[in-house]
Chains A and B, each alone.
Chain A
Amino acid sequence: MRRLSHCGCRILPPELLQRIARNGNALQREAALDTLAVDHTLRLGRATWQLLDAGTRRGLFGISGAAKQRSIYDAHGDEALPGRLVRAEGAPAQADVEVNEAYDGLGATFDFFADVYDRNSIDDAGLHLAASVHYGRRYDNAFWNGQQMVFGDGDGELFNRFTISLDVIAHELTHGVTGDEARLVYLGQAGALNESVSDVFGSLVKQYARRERAADADWLIGAGLFTAKVHGVALRSMKAPGTAYDDPLLGRDPQPATMDGYVRTQADDGGVHTNSGIPNHAFYLAAIALGGYAWEKAGRIWYETLRDKRIKPTATFRQFARLTVQNAAHFFGSAERQAVAAAWAEVGIKATG
């Protein structure tokens, strides 16, 4: 079969392809039909895939156990992604600390999801993990672009390199997990839940790497990211939202811990990094109440909620909370159900009845 010579064809909407298939010349028709067939196969495959559990998915391909595949790229101060490949899976450590921190952070995150929740990478289908370091010039941020992680070097004044915190690396990768599972929209309460889920598993990856109990963890996100000039310990605190920093340049940590402090704003996609303090604190309270290692009970309940078919992309705090309570009862028992409901009640969210 002939294909259109340019690969951009696949991003055409199906409606347009159907119109070309109906009205185009012979060559255009064939190419459009070819693309539609591939597209349809991919969509059908994707839909089927999502109906299967992790074990069945792996069984389909005869894969036993999860195998991590990492690629770290150097963007060399440019913003073109991904940059030059500098460390592939299994390659030895490099002289560049950011390359190694990214490599190790991706590995720790992969291992956490595989060991604890039997998840095979971000998409539970062995997705190759990619990250670019040295992105941009004095770039003081890190983000997930839907396909890969991106780390800046920091500005050197307020922020150190963004690979320095394992929980930040795990936070970014968890955006990929959420994008594959609940697909929470990045706006308003659903967006704040999306952010909170990334903080929850960001912190759990760090706790798991340290084999730390809930009561012994710092529950900070991004510790080490600030330079010594900043008055603050981290980007956020799940234990005490609103207390992570208070600095002349950065301002004061604006996160509320309860619904009384809920911030209504259009900035930051509707306050996604602000109001996430509320579900963050609920998770912390649940984890402390349930005791032991936070990933075993509280983490499992949140993970199963993220994967729950009943969760909508536009979920509110209350809808998410109710599902965590139901999953606590389903996967554990009435004591766990009560502990999770009490945690949500303490932040001002009624999750039962």
Chain B
Amino acid sequence: MRIDFRADGGLAAFPGLSAPVTIHCDALPPAENRRVRDLVRRAGFFALPTADRQPPAPDARSYTIAIDDGQRCRTVTLREPIADPALRDLVDTLRDKARAARRAP
């Protein structure tokens, strides 16, 4: 499973933080790979509408997530605040992974 993640907006637009990050789940440790796949499943990602219809809230972020699991491929844009707890868990995890990826040399 391949996940492309991009955060946009927020109180300021930082060029370094808005670059997309790619997460290859199969390259993660097995337990972490399972956890991320489970988050994607619990969030019902492949059934989500592609665009969030919420009007933009000033300074809130939006997230663009594209997931390819080998059989299906879907790109979804979400705006904060994210009401669904399962979806929030997924975004939190991807945000952490994006932070770690940016720190890596």
Contacts and interface: CB of A to CB of B under 8 A. Distances in A.
Interface string B61-82: 1000000000000000000111
Given A251-B14, A267-B8, A145 B102 contact: no
A79 B11 contact: no
Nearest to A198: B58
B81 A251 contact: no
Contacts of A136: 92
A145 B16 contact: no
Given A142-B59, A143-B60, A175-B59, A249 B16 contact: yes
Nearest to A195: B58
Contacts of B12: 222, 235-236, 273
Interface residues of B, number: 27
A189 interface: no
A48 B16 CA distance: 47
A280 interface: no
Contact of B15 (A81, A155, A254): A254
B49 interface: no
A250 B17 contact: yes
A251 B19 CA distance: 10
A187 interface: yes
Interface in A135-163: 136-138, 140-146, 150, 155, 157, 162
A164 B31 CA distance: 38
A249 B100 CA distance: 11
B92 A251 contact: no
Given A141-B59, A194-B58, A247-B16, A235 B11 contact: yes
A34 to B, nearest CB: 28
Contact of B9 (A155, A194, A249, A273): A273
B15 A252 contact: yes
A172 interface: yes
A273 B17 CA distance: 14
Interface in A69-94: 79, 81
A81 B81 contact: yes
A213 B63 CA distance: 40
Contact of A145 (B14, B17, B81): B81
B8 A144 contact: no
A269 interface: yes
B80 A143 contact: yes
A143 B58 contact: yes
B35 interface: no
Given A268-B8, A273-B9, A143 B57 contact: yes
A136 B58 CA distance: 17
B56 interface: yes
Contacts of A252: 15
Contacts of A268: 8-9, 13, 18
A186 B62 CA distance: 13
B78 to A, nearest CB: 12
Given A268-B13, A273-B9, A273-B12, A186 B58 contact: yes
Interface string A261-274: 00000011101111
A303 to B, nearest CB: 18
Given A143-B80, A273-B12, 15 more contacts: A79-B88, A81-B81, A141-B60, A143-B59, A144-B59, A145-B60, A150-B81, A186-B56, A186-B58, A198-B58, A235-B11, A251-B15, A254-B13, A267-B8, A269-B56
14 contacts: A79-B81, A81-B81, A141-B61, A143-B57, A172-B58, A186-B58, A198-B58, A222-B11, A235-B12, A249-B102, A250-B15, A250-B16, A252-B15, A269-B56
Interface of A: 79, 81, 136-138, 140-146, 150, 155, 157, 162, 168, 171-172, 175, 179, 186-187, 194-195, 198, 222, 235-236, 247-252, 254, 267-269, 271-274
